[in-house]
């Protein structure tokens, strides 16, 4: 999972995307005008709903992905957490 910044006339829109690294399939995505954890949670919940539980979820160590709500969602679903180190 990752977040991409999309420039628009008055700032940015943020795209949270959940991708399957093996198939390179985009499992789900959500757009937001704010960088909070909620749109990331929605993207993961949608991916779980459509495609079931993965064994591992990989993210960077951004503040959205280290929030208790995000970590809790993964742990409650029995998903192992993998976070890239700084600069990886």
Q: What is the pLDDT of residues 19-76, one digit of tens each?
A: 998 999 999 999 999 999 999 999 999 999 999 999 999 999 988 999 999 999 999 9
**What pLDDT is recorded for position 84?**
80
**What pLDDT is recorded for position 38?**
96
Q: What is the pTM assigned to this prediction?
A: 0.89
Which pair of structure tokens corresponds to residue 9?
A: 């006339």
**What pLDDT is recorded for position 87?**
56
**What pLDDT is recorded for position 88?**
52
Give the torsion through C-alpha atoms of 31, 62, 86, 71, to 10 deg: -120
Work out the angle at residue 10's Cα, subtended by the Cα atoms of residues 8 and 13, and round it to the nearest 5 degrees.
Answer: 45
**What pLDDT is recorded for position 6?**
97
* Alpha-carbon span 62 to 49, nearest angstrom: 24
* Alpha-carbon span 22 to 25, nearest angstrom: 8
């Amino acid at each position: 999972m990752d977040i991409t910044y999309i420039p628009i006339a008055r700032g940015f829109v943020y795209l949270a995307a959940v991708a399957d690294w093996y198939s390179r399939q985009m499992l789900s995505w959500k757009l937001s005008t704010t960088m909070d954890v909620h749109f990331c949670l929605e993207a993961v919940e949608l991916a779980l709903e459509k495609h079931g539980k993965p064994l591992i979820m990989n993210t960077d160590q951004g503040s959205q992905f280290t929030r208790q709500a995000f970590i809790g969602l993964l742990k409650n679903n029995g998903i192992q957490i993998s976070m890239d180190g700084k600069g990886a």
